[in-house]
Amino acid sequence: MADSLTPSWLVTLGAYMQEESEKQWFWFGVFIVLMVVGAFWVEASLTLPGVGEDPLLGEGETIEDVVWNNEGTAALILVGRGDGTPLHLADSTGLHPIPVGDMIPNSISTSGTGWLIAGDDGSLASSDGTSLSPITLDWGVGEPLDIMAAASNDGESGFIISKHGSQTRLHNFVNGVVSEGSSPPVSSTMMTDIFLSSDEKLVIVIGYDTALGNPTFGPAGEVVIRVDSVMGQAPSLTLLHHGAGGAIHSAGFVNTGDWGDDVEMMLAGGTSTMLLLSDYTIVELSGVGGSTAATIDETGAFWFARGDSNELLSITSDSENVAVHEISNSVVVDAEFGALGGSEVMFYGTGVDGNVGVLSFDPAANHDVSQSLARFGDLIFVIIVVCSIAIVGHMFWVNDFKPW
């Protein structure tokens, strides 16, 4: 009689499956359950841990600007289309309205006293989060202009962007006296925001180009300008970058050493992400591309959101590739603003319920075994490997180091 061509292990498995016993079906069921649980575990471990979305504004309200204070304890929010005051303070206890009187706010920035609020008709005010303290400005013989953005570390001296018609100009102010304004190097540029370093050695203005793109699709063109100024005199503006593509929506200074000694700022736009170097050259950060909101966390990592995508991107100075982090569809927001509040990264935008909300998470949770399923799974794997080695070693010890 010829030998069977069927492998012996398959014959054994077939006999085991046909055996009329509940034992093998129990272990087979355990195996299936472990496979299902493992599949769910792997899927869940791919999701960024600790991510939550909280409602922020009411129906029909929009978010125009949001800035956290230097301590990371509260944020000042500029609300559009609201029935009440356009300024609100968001802290751990909720959302609190701030009376603005006759002021029409346009933008918010941080200052040593809390926040700086710029508004129409030459209005400028500081705030500690409870009320506004107007800053009287002397415009000389000219009429006060609408202030679109302001930057100051102490609330007493700094820079402002004024707008008259379709033209913007940059001024400095000190002790309430406003200097003459300077037009951008390219006449079609609309300056939108000012960034002043903490040591006041670097002043950068960003904007877009009205001659580029289609106004129907929003601002276009990447414009970066360096400011040199003697307080009280018209600032000197130098064009550092003028490119096509989506406008720059986010910028931030990089802490010394986080990205080496030559990186000063991160500049994020709709189609690209760039770095401003200490020699005032601008280079593209490869692999990132465009985004709709961005911020920098405590460790110096850059975080990016792309509209209502269920993926967030991050990159650090010591990594060559961009990390992609999946988030649950239930917490997705159509991100418009990025910020760092304390230790948490926050993205603001319209949530799944149609109202403005905030997506927040602690980047450190991804490395915390108690919060990250991926890290907990790694720990379990290490424990299993160690236990398996211990069991095998014990068996060899019992058998006098013989394999059988």
Half-sphere exposure of 73 (CA within 13 A, CB side): 5
Is residue 146 domain-shared with residue 28, that is, in the same domain? no
Does 13 fall in a domain?
A: no
Query: Left, alpha or beta for 266 (phi > 0: left; psi -120 to 50: alpha)?
Result: beta
Is residue 31 domain-shared with residue 86, that is, in the same domain? no
Does 157 fall in a domain?
A: yes
Judge whether 146 and 162 are in contact, CB under 8 Å: yes
Q: pTM (2 decimals)?
A: 0.81
Q: How far apart are CA 217 and CA 211, in angstroms?
A: 13
Give the CATH number, domain containing residue 113.
Answer: 2.130.10.10
Is residue 326 domain-shared with residue 309, that is, in the same domain? yes
Is residue 143 domain-shared with residue 36, that is, in the same domain? no
Does 205 fall in a domain?
A: yes
The whole-number average pLDDT for the span 380-396 is 64
Question: What is the span of the domain harbouring residue 43?
Answer: 23-49+368-404
Does 6 fall in a domain?
A: no
Is residue 198 domain-shared with residue 342, that is, in the same domain? yes
pLDDT digits (tens, 9 = 90+) for 73-123: 999 999 998 778 899 999 999 999 999 999 999 999 999 879 999 999 999
In the numeric block, which tokens belong to residue 37? 């649980």
Q: What's the domain count of the chain?
A: 2
Single out the residue of 117, 129, 124, 115 nearest to residue 145, CA to CA: 124
**Above 50 in pLDDT, residue 369?**
no
pLDDT digits (tens, 9 = 90+) for 173-202: 999 999 999 999 999 999 999 999 998 899
Judge whether 273 and 285 are in contact, CB under 8 Å: yes
Does 11 fall in a domain?
A: no
pLDDT digits (tens, 9 = 90+) for 298-356: 999 999 999 888 899 999 998 888 999 888 888 899 999 999 998 999 999 999 899 99
Is residue 220 domain-shared with residue 340, that is, in the same domain? yes
Is residue 112 domain-shared with residue 221, that is, in the same domain? yes
